[in-house]
Amino acid sequence: MADIGARLEEICAGRVLSGDAIGDDYTHDETLGGEPVRPAHVVLPEDADEVAAILKLAAETGTPVTARGSGSGLSGSAVPHPDGILVSFERMNKILEIDTVNHVAVVQPGVTLTELEEATAAVGFVYPVYPGELSASLGGNVNTNAGGMRAIKYGVTRHHVLGLQAALPTGEVIRTGGRFVKASTGYDLTQLIVGSEGTLALVTEAVLKLQPRLAHQATILVPFPDLASVMTAVPKVVGSGLGPLILEYIDALTMGAITYTHDLQLGIPDEIKEKAQAFLVVMLENNSAGRLDEDIETAGELLTELGALDVYSLPGGAARKLVEARENAFYTAKGVGADDIIDTVLPRSSLPEFFTRVLEIAQGNQTLVIGCGHAGDGNVHLAVFQKDPEVRHRVLHELFASGMALGGAISGEHGIGRGKKRHFLELEDPGKIELMRRIKQAFDPQGILNPGVLFD
């Protein structure tokens, strides 16, 4: 491996770490229970040509390559291979352009969501994809197809990636798509690379669609007697044409945990708290404060008709805090000792039945399972408290199998990576897995990109 280190040094002089010089940060992402792995080398390229050169070297020597953005992933797809090269995009962190005519941002993969938020806010636009962790890099977001709370209005990362520059494992640098929302010119390589968890290509630049930044936002918190009524209400709110920006459900236990952890005062009287088994958080946005007030009123009336126990308009500060707390629900779950988390997605019509199954599975395995999630999208985040790895695997298997039987998929936005791979390979249609393997082979004939992620 010394030889590879020296040759990496030729490509990226002074930007190669090997052996003990590799810090702990490079050995893991945020996956619960994931084992840290120290790679043979960490390399910090500064442009696409360097990335391509690294891949050529890797292909020539059969060395595994793993890409790393901010390391905030939850599925282990940025965890390196012990004999491999970790390509960290921390030096490719420039916003190349905020293009206010075509309404796109052109970014390098190491740019964080926070940085993009600041740059777009300055010119009245917004990159509306809003996963919980704002220190995440755009490169990581592209590779996991990150989602988040605003998907109900704007869609997920996939819907905002208009084009890519990417280095292929065969050593070419390609450009896909462009500064336009549509093309029918051969296969959509952009969409194939989005969500591929670093197994098909290394993204070196992304063209991201921006939206006009609307001036006003308002939030209501709506307690319901049970989860089923929340789930009945959700499609009505979406179908109303009010165009909610956020539509989150939080179950009573999770609400307790996040309000306690974040010391949130939401002004809900005890008598309502006692009856409320589930909450809906509805955020609307508008360019006109007057229209926003009217729409919030309309939403409140609609939800009251649909069985809400009450409707609380949250002042800006409290709303922001609640949304932040919800975003950090993962860390809350981690803090109170969750052993794993999942983010199954299913048709929202199937959520009530799924929750019944979740309860049965939890009770049948003496496991605590609590949750919250993107109710509008059918994306359920569950924290699983079960120390025994075998029982935990069974619980997850049963949860995923139930979700899939109800028309769902294993992950809505976290990805499969290494963490959920066993379940993916056990539960997914073998014909599809085989087809995906052949696609992987088409991109990466030598299997150097992220081996062990998605497939064995």
Residues 416-445 touching a second copy, rule: CB under 8 A, are 416, 424, 428-429, 431-433, 435-436, 438-443
- For position 305 contacting a second copy by CB under 8 A, the verdict is no
Q: Which is nearer to a second copy, 34 or 147 (CB)?
A: 147
Least Å distance, CB 261 to a second copy, is 27
Report yes or no: 366 and 389 within 8 Å, Cβ to Cβ.
no
Backbone angles phi, psi at 176, to 5 degrees: -120, 155
- For position 100 contacting a second copy by CB under 8 A, the verdict is yes
- For position 124 contacting a second copy by CB under 8 A, the verdict is yes
Element (H, E) at 358: helix 351-364
Least Å distance, CB 63 to a second copy, is 22
Rounded distance between C-alpha atoms, residue 46 and residue 50, angstroms: 7
Binding mask 19-58 for a second copy (x = CB under 8 A): ----------------------------------------
C-alpha distances (whole Å) from 328 to each of 38, 226, 254, 255 are: 28, 23, 11, 12
Rounded distance between C-alpha atoms, residue 350 and residue 379, angstroms: 11
State the distance between the two ends of the chain, measured CA to CA, in whole angstroms.
Answer: 23
Backbone angles phi, psi at 369, to 5 degrees: -130, 115
Judged by CB under 8 A, which of 18, 414, 419, 450 binds a second copy? 414
Least Å distance, CB 373 to a second copy, is 12
Judged by CB under 8 A, which of 71, 244, 412, 451 binds a second copy? 412
Judged by CB under 8 A, which of 66, 72, 144, 367 binds a second copy? 144
Q: Which is nearer to a second copy, 62 or 212 (CB)?
A: 212
- For position 454 contacting a second copy by CB under 8 A, the verdict is yes
Structure-derived torsion over alpha carbons of residues 8, 81, 418, 56, reported in degrees to the nearest 10: 30
Token pair for 220: 């209501």
Least Å distance, CB 377 to a second copy, is 6
Judged by CB under 8 A, which of 409, 422, 446, 447 binds a second copy? 409
- For position 405 contacting a second copy by CB under 8 A, the verdict is no
- For position 320 contacting a second copy by CB under 8 A, the verdict is no
Q: Which is nearer to a second copy, 50 or 310 (CB)?
A: 50
Q: Which stretch binds a second copy (CB under 8 A): 10-18, 56-64, 89-97, 231-239?
A: 231-239
For residue 56, give every residue at least 6 positions away whose Cβ sits within 8 Å of its Cβ, in sequence order, or none. 171
Q: Which of residues 149-168 bind a second copy (CB under 8 A)?
A: 151-152, 155-156, 158-159, 168
Report yes or no: 55 and 103 within 8 Å, Cβ to Cβ.
no
Q: Which is nearer to a second copy, 39 or 244 (CB)?
A: 244
Rounded distance between C-alpha atoms, residue 124 and residue 319, angstroms: 22
Judged by CB under 8 A, which of 6, 19, 49, 240 binds a second copy? 240
The helix-helix angle for 48-61 and 2-11 (nearest 10°) equals 160
Least Å distance, CB 152 to a second copy, is 8
Rounded distance between C-alpha atoms, residue 269 and residue 256, angstroms: 14
What sign results for the dihedral spanned by CA atoms 227, 232, 233, 234? positive
Rounded distance between C-alpha atoms, residue 198 and residue 139, angstroms: 10
AA identity, residue 210: L
Q: Which stretch binds a second copy (CB under 8 A): 53-61, 89-97, 176-184, 302-310?
A: 176-184
Report yes or no: 120 and 127 within 8 Å, Cβ to Cβ.
yes
Least Å distance, CB 78 to a second copy, is 14
Binding mask 180-219 for a second copy (x = CB under 8 A): xxxxxxxxxx-xx-xxxx--x-----------x-x-----
Q: Which of residues 358-377 bind a second copy (CB under 8 A)?
A: 377
Judged by CB under 8 A, which of 408, 419, 451, 452 binds a second copy? 408
C-alpha distances (whole Å) from 396 to each of 36, 297, 369, 425, 430 are: 22, 41, 10, 13, 19
Q: Ramachandran region of residue 62, left (φ > 0), alpha (ψ -120 to 50) or beta?
A: left
Q: Which is nearer to a second copy, 16 or 151 (CB)?
A: 151
262-270 contacts, C-beta under 8 A, 24 or more apart: 262/321, 262/324, 262/325, 262/328, 262/332, 264/318, 264/321, 264/322, 264/325, 265/318, 266/221, 266/312, 266/314, 266/318, 266/322, 267/312, 267/318, 268/221, 268/223, 268/310, 268/312
Least Å distance, CB 124 to a second copy, is 7
- For position 62 contacting a second copy by CB under 8 A, the verdict is no
Judged by CB under 8 A, which of 229, 259, 379, 450 binds a second copy? 379
- For position 349 contacting a second copy by CB under 8 A, the verdict is yes
- What is the three-class DSSP state of 242? coil
Q: Which is nearer to a second copy, 22 or 406 (CB)?
A: 406
Q: Which of residues 275-294 bind a second copy (CB under 8 A)?
A: 287, 291
- For position 265 contacting a second copy by CB under 8 A, the verdict is no
